[in-house]
């Protein structure tokens, strides 16, 4: 099924990602300390914390750290932005399930909730990638920055003077990312510490003229994947659709889960509390791969998988 979709996607692959107007000035970073109230539907309401010791990162964790060691999740922001609050409700939701999340960038501003929109038509495109990059400027965060955050919290976990001493489990690490942050996640996924990956509305560019990101990543990097990966896409109206379909057809050496819904490139991050269905997918994927919870794995396994039964969701490639 994925290969059939790939044939259709290749007809769209010459179309670059949609251009956007020059963004407004960035909000100033929040003060150091806890940012916002605890949130999430899990048993461990989570907060974002901004530390002077690591000012180019933000960390999401349960407001009250539990006795058990938490798996670590790395996150790539949409647009590769340096605003760690861009998907704050979603990240608090995931962290509240018992995860410690490393996010590049300082906390600037949270995006307000919007009404969900069913999207079925591809967006308008701009064929001049150089012009797109010039409008947007260089990527504000990088894959190397994300891994630097992992290295730092790993040291904190081993430091008796750190409040996180012995609280984390560096043997259980996953990476997730949205759009440009998904590209960062693919690069990060080559790291041997990564045990699972989730890409939301993302995929490797099919040709050199695509995309507004300056991150140079090719299909060859898919060969470096060594752990299960999930592609969660907003249907044909998603600007990442052709790239994701093509990626799925190429990856045959690791388990791949591929699902899509006609929700467009922004997904459900800002259309429902706690990140909507994206929050559910993320926590179940992580529970399955980092905590070994077979019940959560049923959301992705087989023709009758849990997500397969959801209204408006299609799963051409479940896990087997």
pLDDT at residue 2, as a whole number: 58
* Residue 233, helix vs strand vs coil: strand
pLDDT at residue 119, as a whole number: 83
**Gap between the Cα atoms of 70 and 101, Å rounded:** 10
Would you give the DSSP letter of residue 153?
A: H
Report the chain's terminal Cα–Cα distance, integer Å. Answer: 15
Question: In the chain, what are the domains?
Answer: 2-21+30-317 (3.40.50.1820)
Instruction: Note the pLDDT tens digit of each residue in 34-73.
Output: 999 999 999 999 999 999 999 999 999 999 999 999 999 9
**Gap between the Cα atoms of 56 and 58, Å rounded:** 7
Which parts of the chain have pLDDT scores under 70? Answer: 1-24, 122-137, 208-214
pLDDT at residue 15, as a whole number: 40
């Amino acid at each position: 099924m994925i290969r059939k979709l790939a044939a259709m996607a290749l007809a769209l692959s010459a179309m670059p990602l949609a251009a956007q107007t020059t963004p407004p000035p960035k909000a100033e970073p929040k003060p150091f300390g806890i940012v916002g109230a605890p949130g999430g539907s899990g048993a461990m309401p989570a907060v974002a914390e901004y530390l002077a010791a690591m000012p180019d990162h933000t960390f999401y964790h349960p407001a009250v750290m539990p006795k058990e060691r938490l798996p670590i999740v790395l996150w790539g922001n949409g647009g590769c932005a340096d605003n760690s609050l861009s998907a704050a409700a979603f990240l608090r939701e995931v962290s509240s399930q018992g995860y410690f999340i490393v996010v590049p960038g300082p906390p600037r501003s949270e995006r307000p909730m919007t009404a969900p929109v069913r999207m079925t038509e591809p967006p308008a495109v701009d064929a001049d990638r150089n012009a797109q990059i010039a409008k947007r400027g260089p990527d504000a965060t990088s894959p190397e920055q994300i891994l630097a955050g992992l290295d730092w919290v790993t040291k904190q976990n081993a430091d008796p003077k750190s409040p996180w001493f012995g609280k984390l489990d560096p043997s259980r690490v996953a990476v997730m990312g949205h759009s440009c942050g998904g590209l960062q996640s693919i690069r990060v996924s080559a790291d041997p510490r990564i045990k699972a990956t989730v890409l939301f509305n993302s995929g490797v560019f099919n040709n050199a003229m695509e995309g507004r990101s300056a991150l140079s990543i090719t299909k060859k990097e898919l060969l470096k994947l060594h752990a299960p990966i999930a592609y969660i896409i907003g249907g044909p109206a998603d600007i990442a659709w052709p790239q994701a379909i093509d990626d799925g057809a190429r990856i045959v050496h690791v388990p791949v889960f591929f699902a899509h819904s006609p929700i467009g490139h922004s997904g459900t991050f800002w259309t429902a509390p706690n990140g909507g269905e994206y929050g559910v997918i993320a926590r179940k994927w992580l529970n399955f791969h980092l905590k070994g919870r077979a019940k959560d794995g049923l959301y992705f396994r087989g023709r009758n998988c849990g997500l397969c039964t959801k209204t408006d969701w299609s799963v051409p490639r479940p896990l087997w």
